[in-house]
Amino acid sequence: MSRLFLQQFLCGMLVVCWSAVGVCADPVDYVHDVKPILAEKCYACHGALRQESNLRLDLAALMQEGGDSGPAIVPGKADDSELIARVATSDADLRMPPEDEGEPLTPAQIELLKAWIDEGAGAPADEAIPRDPREHWAYQPPVQHPVPEIDGLETGQVTIVLRSTPRAD
């Protein structure tokens, strides 16, 4: 009886230890975990409106492409990724975001980014490049379109019939 108890106890401890070191951990979800961090901390300078150092962080493919300093991320190698080097450094001159642009990432946020990169920096294959918000129709100047021509309007051959509709219930 004590041998069975010992086996069950050891199996239970093994499961607890494995889950504690992350063997059973879920993979990091780019859309739900990574993108919100980047949107909050990085898009103001590295998004659709501004691209400091020619770097955009609003799309995983563009992070791999990188900017003036090379690729921002190296999938599978967080320690070789410039993004991690910049957000994790203690040097105020190199740290991102800069002191006057916002609060630094928390250690938990940095670990999440590292885990995502180490897992291969997976992202949806159909992730579209966000358009420049200034291209939205509401920000375009009005355009005067020509009035359409209606056949027979000049000769008075157009008949207009107006009918009333029944009252609604």
Indicate if the pLDDT at residue 36 is higher than 70.
Answer: yes
Residues 6+ apart with CB under 8 A from 3: none
Answer positive or negative: Cα dihedral of 28, 30, 36, 38.
positive
Residue 120 is classified by DSSP as: T
Domain residues for 48?
28-123
Neighbours of 55 (CB within 10 A): 24
Report field, pTM of the whole predicted structure over 0.75: no
In a domain, 56, yes or no: yes
Residues 137-151 pLDDT 10s? 888 899 999 988 877
The model's pLDDT over 37-62, given as tens digits with 9 standing for 90+, comes to 999 999 999 998 899 999 999 999 99
Handedness of CA 89, 95, 99, 103 (dihedral sign): negative
Q: Is position 106 within any domain?
A: yes
How many domains does one find in the chain? Answer: 1
Supply the mean pLDDT for the chain: 85
